[in-house]
Amino acid sequence: MSAGSHISSPIPARIVIAVSAWISAAVVLSIFLFLAWFCRPLLDTTVLSSLLSWDWRPFQGDFGILSMLTGSLLLASSSMLLAFPVGMGICCFVHGVGPPGPARLVLWTIKLMTSVPTVVYGFVAVFVLVPLLRDVFREGSGFSLLAAILGLAVLVLPTVVLMLHSQFLTIEPQVRLTAAALGMAPSQKLLHLVIPASGRGFLAAAILGLGRALGDTMIPLMLAGNAAQLPGSVFDSIRTMTAHIALVVATDSRSLAYLSLFACGLLLFMTTALINLGLRMLAGNRENGS
């Protein structure tokens, strides 16, 4: 095992990588410019104050999208709060806490989950999860924040698990023999050596997981009930910005309603970027601090 045997990549490969990096950056920038361009009418203060309000009643001329913003943030953060610890537990199970046979099976299942289309999760949830919630809690129709949280948690779980898994895979071989020779159990090695050294993996899992949860459309559209309101409990219906865009695009509507789509798009874009930056800064501070 020779550490750090880097083979310098040949020039063509480097050019290909550089070109694709620039193309991706250009695409992201142009999406942002495109959104900003279509959001120009927002600069008008009456339009802006109309959009930045809590009520969505298009037929009475209220086009507020704040409840959708809240819905998106609430749903994404709750489902991540659920998926993150569960994903971490699964990853620990796969890496030595569980017996090897079931561990392989679990990992295989998680990998399989990434290839299941979102709409399938939504479909199954509509026919299994929603009736179950309705019968168990006897509150409303079952199409609720809770249903969407559970559905979305399942959706982002593989992202969390696989990001952590790949980080564990780079750390674990470095300490495997030493930990074994000292008489540490696999679970001790994981808890005291691998996890503390996996900060980057946790950061990546959080950023990608939150991005996925915030951006997903199908699950909230199919499970959350889509009432544009502030939920009083997890059994209430909510509408996310993504579901809002899908709904309004699909139905013919008036101009300010259409404008609200671009506002939602811009907000989604900025929220994701802010979360990304914020978590990176948090991690940076922690690394400097310790």
Partner 1 sequence: MTAAVSIKNLRVTFNGAAVLEDITCKTRCGELTVIVGRSGSGKSTLLRAVNRLNECFPGCSTTGVVRLSLHDGQLAVYADGTCPERLRGRVGMVFQSPNVLPLSIERNMLLPQRLVRGITGRAAEEIMRRMLRRVGLFDEVCDRMDAQAATLSGGQQQRLCLARALALEPEVLLLDEPTASVDYQSARRIEDLLLSLKDELSLLVVSHSLPQTRRLADRVLLIREGRLTGQWHRGQANADAAFEKMLSTTF
Report, in Å, the least distance between residue 200 CB and partner 1. Answer: 13
Nearer of residues 29 and 180 to partner 1, judged by Cβ? 180
Nearer of residues 81 and 177 to partner 1, judged by Cβ? 177
Nearer of residues 114 and 187 to partner 1, judged by Cβ? 187
Report, in Å, the least distance between residue 193 CB and partner 1. Answer: 6
Total residues binding partner 1 (CB under 8 A): 16
The interface with partner 1 within residues 137-196 (CB under 8 A) comprises 174-185, 188, 192-193
The interface with partner 1 within residues 2-31 (CB under 8 A) comprises none
Q: Of the candidates 213, 219, 214, 215, which has an alpha carbon nearest to the alpha carbon of residue 130?
A: 219
| Residue 52 in the binding site for partner 1 (CB under 8 A) | no
Distance CA 224, CA 124 (A): 14
Report, in Å, the least distance between residue 145 CB and partner 1. Answer: 42
Nearer of residues 193 and 203 to partner 1, judged by Cβ? 193
Distance CA 89, CA 91 (A): 5
Nearer of residues 122 and 201 to partner 1, judged by Cβ? 201
Report, in Å, the least distance between residue 96 CB and partner 1. Answer: 12
Q: Is 17 exposed, middle or buried (0-12, 13-18, 19+ CB in 10 A)?
A: exposed
Nearer of residues 179 and 214 to partner 1, judged by Cβ? 179
For the chain, the three-class secondary structure string (H helix, E strand, C coil) is CCCCCCCCCCHHHHHHHHHHHHHHHHHHHHHHHHHHHHCHHHHCHHHHHHHCCCCEEHHHCEECCHHHHHHHHHHHHHHHHHHHHHHHHHHHHHHHHCCHHHHHHHHHHHHHHHCCCHHHHHHHHHHHHHHHHHHHHCCCCCCCHHHHHHHHHHHHHHHHHHHHHHHHHHHHHHHHHHHHHCCCCHHHHHHHHHHHHCHHHHHHHHHHHHHHHHHCCHHHHHHCECCCCCCCCCCCCECCHHHHHHHHHHCCCCHHHHHHHHHHHHHHHHHHHHHHHHHHHHHHHHHHHC
Phi, psi of 117 (to 5 degrees): -65, 145
The interface with partner 1 within residues 81-100 (CB under 8 A) comprises none
Report, in Å, the least distance between residue 66 CB and partner 1. Answer: 47
Nearer of residues 24 and 188 to partner 1, judged by Cβ? 188
Nearer of residues 197 and 208 to partner 1, judged by Cβ? 197
Q: Show the site string, 194-213: x = touches partner 1 by CB under 8 A, - = not.
A: ---x----------------
Report, in Å, the least distance between residue 31 CB and partner 1. Answer: 40
Report, in Å, the least distance between residue 93 CB and partner 1. Answer: 19
Report, in Å, the least distance between residue 150 CB and partner 1. Answer: 37
Q: Where on the chain is the footprint of partner 1 (CB under 8 A)?
A: 174-185, 188, 192-193, 197
